[in-house]
Every structure is written in structure tokens, then in C-alpha cells.
Amino acid sequence: MTLLRDTGKVIRSWTDRAALAALAAAGNPLAGVLRDPAGEHAVYAKLRARGPVHRPMLGPPLVLSHRVCGEVLRDNRFGLRRADGGSANGENFFSDTFIEQDPPDHTRLRRLAAPAFRPKLLRDYRDRIEKITRELLHTAVAKGEFDLVTDFASPLPIAVISDLLGIPDEHAGRFARYGVVVARSLNGVRTLAQQRELDAAVADLGELFADLMRQRQADPRDDVISLLATAQAQDKLSAGEVVTTCRLLLIAGFETTVNLIGTAAKLLTDHPEQWALLKQDPDLAPRAVEEVLRYSPPVPIGARISQQPAELDGEPVQPQTLVVLLFAAANRDPGRYAEPDRFLLTRSRDEPEHLSFSQGIHYCLGAPLSRVEGDVALRAMAELTPGLRVTGEPVTRPSSVIRGLLHLPVAV
């Protein structure tokens, strides 16, 4: 029993394929949820009835409550790196970026990138976002029938983050393809073909950013790549760190928003009374964004590693223990939210913020940008596509780690 509960020895990462097979054989609910997300909330309800943390016979503790998830995220005794240097979330597209690092590297690199996402700067940038949004929607609506994801939800945040970074428009199509590759890799790399696909995406982006960095060193502009190139010239980060940071800001800067907008369209059309509320009052758009993120988070699950002796809901945790955080469960915690399984744009403002952007030192750097884009997109949809309806079968992303849609056929 002791060995089975020593999760540091049983499982290195919750995305490890062999470990998940062992967990499935042992009846661990995590394996079932990852294989079949459709029934996850019924599973979470049963587990939550036993307490805020589920400690299975084999595998890591599973945190279901909003309170305990928040405590772990804000506790500096928990981090993202194992003692051997690996990531709590497995090896993936982001493993060498600051989003998967602990202090001091995380702090240093995040501080250098943070000026690009200041709320005031993004408020000033809103006119540009609105212009892109309306151009895309007008073009899509002119077709009568269109794919809301490929014609609108995907090109919008790609255009915005590319503009902020200073990347030429002609690369936009490549970035959408990379997003799909990245989403698959976060579930763990399963085959040699998938590894080659991921390696090619990483190499291609590396070459692009290295070339742009050389251009900005010779001719600085008012963009993020110039900002980072200047920092590298001042020895505040290495050339490799510039490339990995740009890669992170690009992919993370549009992936969450693509999934937010696509999921919002599906949820609103599935809940016509809420869609009617938004159409009647487009100023509900910011609240709609928060409710979509709470109800169906783009990143429903994460993990942390205890770096030193710690506590989990009052019980001791040994160093190098993996802890899995079920954000999708925490966001529907009945101890925090009234009617948590209902999708409600008029949810009380007294309820706590969802955990879809994390908490603590790893709180999503791009959250302000994603919120502005979501607000602008949903407001424009309410005004320009009031007759929006789904006309075909949605196609979901092939990932249980990044949730969203690849395709959503609609008509207006």
C-alpha cells in the first residue's frame, strides 16, 4: 500500500502513456476521464461527495475543490519541475518555455515578457481588435454558411497576437496548423510520426523567430520581438530563451482564445435563452466570457509537484509528489457556485473567479488579452450574427488537455 501511494515512484507525469494504462487497470478515475471527457462531471460529483481530494490506491491525488486547487496554485512549495528536471505535465511543446518553469527562471522570463500584456496597452489596442473582428465576421456572414472556427475563431486571435509580436501576416496559416499539433502533444507524444510533426513545428518556429530577432536587432520596432531582442542584447536572456519565449507567446496567445470563442458559440446556441440575453444586451459579453471559461475551460486539468514537504487539504505530502488539479471540477464546485452545472450569463458577481487562468505566480500572462478578444468577439457575434445556428456536427480537438473545437459549421 505504501509503495502504491508513493506517487513520486509510481508515476512521473500524468500524461505518461504507460502510467495511464496502469492507472486504468487499477480503476483510477483519472484515466477514465482522460479517455472519455463527456462523462467527467458525473465522475467528479461522485468523487467530490467523498471529499475535496481523491486519493486513489494507485496514482496521484486528484484535487476537485476550488478551495484546495487555489491553495496548491498559490503555494510556492508546489512547482512544475521534477527533481530530474522533467515537467509535472510531461514533455510537450511548452516544456522548455517559462510557462513550465519554476523560479528564478520563470520569474525572470515572465517579467521580460509582461510589458506586452499590460491591461492599459491592451485597452488602447482594442480598436485594432474590433476592426479585425468585424472584417472577419462580415466576410464569413457574406457566405451565409461558414465554419465559425476556421473562418472566425481561429484567424482572429492569430492576427492579433501576430500583430503584437510583430510577425508578418503571411505566416498566419502555419500558426493555425501548429496549434493543432501543440494540442495533441499536451496529451503526451504517442508515436514517432507525432514526434516528428512536433519537432518540425518547433524547428520551423525557431527558425522564424531567430530570423525575426536578427531583423529587429538591426531595425527595432514597437513590438514584442524587438523588446525581447533588446533584452537579449543586454544579456538579460539568451538567444535560445528569446526563441522559446516568442514560441510560447505566439501559440499560447491564440490557442486559448480560439477555443474560448468556438466553445462560446456552441454553448450559446445550445442555450438559446442565454443567447437571447446576450443579443438583447451585448454589454453582457464580458460576463459571458467568464461563464464560458468557468463552464467549459480550455485547459481543464493541470498538475504540480511538491518541491518540499507540504500539505494537501491538511494532510502531509512528501517531496516530489505529483498532484493533479482538476480545474473543470473546481470550476463547478457546489461549495463555491450556485447551480454550478447551469450555464448562466447572469451568474452572481459575488462568486469567486474561475481557475481557467490558474492562480499564483503562474496566473496566465495573456489573460487580459484573451478577455478583450473574447469580449469583442461575443459582442460582435450578438450584433452581426443574431440568427446564428449550428448546421452540422461539431468536430472536437483530438486532446483531453486542450478543450475546444476544430470545426463548427454554422449559418446565419
Task: Return the residue matching grid coordinates 467568464.
Answer: 290
Torsion of CA 82, 86, 91, 96, to 10 degrees: 110
Task: Return the residue matching grid coordinates 496514482.
Answer: 59
Domains of the chain, each with CATH number or no CATH: 2-411 (1.10.630.10)
pTM exceeds 0.85, yes or no: yes
Give the separation between CA 346 and CA 61, rounded to whole angstroms. 34
Beta-carbon-side half-sphere exposure of residue 196 (alpha carbons within 13 Å): 3
Q: How far is CA 335 from the centre of its chain?
A: 24
Q: For each of the chain's 412 residues, which pLDDT tens digit applies?
A: 233 333 333 345 566 666 667 777 778 888 888 777 888 999 999 999 999 999 988 888 999 999 999 999 999 999 999 888 888 877 777 888 899 999 999 999 999 888 878 777 787 889 999 999 999 999 999 999 999 999 999 999 988 888 888 887 777 777 777 777 776 666 667 788 888 888 888 888 888 888 888 888 889 988 888 888 888 889 888 888 888 888 888 878 888 899 999 999 999 999 999 999 999 999 999 999 999 999 999 999 999 999 999 999 999 999 999 999 999 999 999 999 999 999 999 999 999 999 999 999 999 998 999 999 999 999 999 999 999 999 999 999 877 778 899 999 999 9
| Cis, bond preceding 104 (omega within 30 deg of 0) | yes
Going by DSSP bridges, is the β-strand pair 62-63/53-54 parallel, antiparallel, or unpaired?
antiparallel
Q: Please report, as a single letter, which amino acid is at residue 286.
A: P
C-alpha cell at 98: 517559462
Give the separation between CA 369 and CA 359, rounded to whole angstroms. 17
